[in-house]
């Protein structure tokens, strides 16, 4: 069945460092892929999405490219800020929604 | 913007009580979902509904039931609350079709403590 695997956390970075959070997926057909962000004490917010191979989703300086050949959708940001500290979830939508287990990011000044 | 509203941010109940968690969405979405979120376990689907009065079990339905009498409202019911149901509960909604990459939209969550 479909599934999502994302890198284990927690991840701690200094402000202005480069961020990569890995996400790979298993799916039949052509799923849509998403990244969500969850700030402390809140629900999940959609960060970005991609609906087909080679699509790049981007928002708030974050980017992820739908790579069908490697079944990946890694999240990247060139320069993180303290305000980016949150939990990040990779997700896919095939016939149902599937979520990764989340990666906690802490950015220190 | 889609708005998914959960009735309570924090709730404290006692063991054995019947607990109702309410969720309302304002975008005429067909699908609605209830998840619980626990540290280290990610999101686990409890129940979902794709239409009024329709419901489907998710991965962990035991000890829970749901009600969807109106399209915009999806209620989660803990029939007899137990301490192992202490958790963060998240409601979500989405459009029915999979085309166009329709995402789920989440509420702010209800942090439920069972004493």
Q: pLDDT tens for chain A, 109 residues: list them.
A: 889 999 888 999 999 999 999 999 999 888 999 999 999 888 999 999 999 999 999 999 999 999 999 999 999 999 999 999 999 999 999 888 999 999 999 999 9
Work out the angle at residue B37's Cα, subtended by the Cα atoms of residues B32 and B59, and round it to the nearest 5 degrees: 60
Distance from C-alpha of A19 to C-alpha of A105, rounded to nearest angstrom: 9
Asked if A3 has any chain B CB less than 8 Å from its own CB, the reply is: no
pLDDT for residue A25: 96
> In chain B, what residues touch A51 (CB-CB under 8 Å)?
100-101
The answer to whether the CB of B46 falls within 8 A of the CB of B64 is yes
Asked if A101 has any chain B CB less than 8 Å from its own CB, the reply is: yes
- Average pLDDT, integer, range B56-77: 96
Indicate yes or no: CB of A49 within 8 angstroms of CB of B103. Answer: yes
Residue B84: left if φ>0, alpha if ψ -120 to 50, beta else—which one? alpha
Mean pLDDT, rounded, of chain B: 93
Distance from C-alpha of A61 to C-alpha of A51, rounded to nearest angstrom: 19
Distance from C-alpha of B30 to C-alpha of B33, rounded to nearest angstrom: 10
A10 cis-preceded (ω within 30 degrees of 0): yes
Work out the angle at residue B38's Cα, subtended by the Cα atoms of residues B107 and A86, and round it to the nearest 5 degrees: 65
Which residue in B42, B104, B107 is closest to A101 by CB distance? B42
> In chain B, what residues touch A102 (CB-CB under 8 Å)?
42-43
pLDDT for residue A7: 87
Indicate yes or no: CB of A99 within 8 angstroms of CB of B41. Answer: no
pLDDT for residue A6: 94
């Amino acid at each position: 069945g479909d599934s999502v695997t994302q890198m284990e956390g927690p991840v701690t970075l200094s402000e202005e460092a480069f961020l990569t959070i890995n996400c790979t997926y298993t799916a039949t057909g052509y799923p849509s892929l998403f990244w969500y962000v969850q700030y402390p004490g809140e629900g999940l917010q959609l960060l970005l999405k991609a609906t087909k191979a080679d699509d790049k989703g981007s928002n708030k300086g974050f980017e992820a490219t739908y790579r069908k050949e490697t079944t990946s959708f890694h999240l990247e940001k060139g320069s993180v800020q303290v305000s980016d500290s949150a939990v990040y979830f990779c997700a896919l939508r095939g016939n149902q929604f599937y979520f990764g287990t989340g990666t906690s990011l802490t950015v220190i000044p | 913007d889609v708005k998914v509203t959960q009735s309570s941010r924090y709730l404290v109940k006692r063991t054995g009580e019947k607990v109702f968690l309410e969720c309302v969405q304002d975008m005429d979405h067909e699908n609605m979902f209830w998840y619980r979120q626990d540290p280290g376990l990610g999101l686990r689907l409890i129940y979902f509904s794709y239409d009024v009065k329709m419901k489907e079990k998710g991965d962990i339905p035991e000890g829970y039931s749901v009600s969807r009498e109106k399209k915009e409202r999806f209620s989660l019911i803990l029939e007899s609350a137990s301490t192992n149901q202490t958790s963060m509960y998240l409601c979500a909604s989405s459009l029915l079709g999979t085309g166009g990459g329709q995402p789920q939209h989440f509420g702010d969550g209800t942090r439920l403590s069972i004493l």
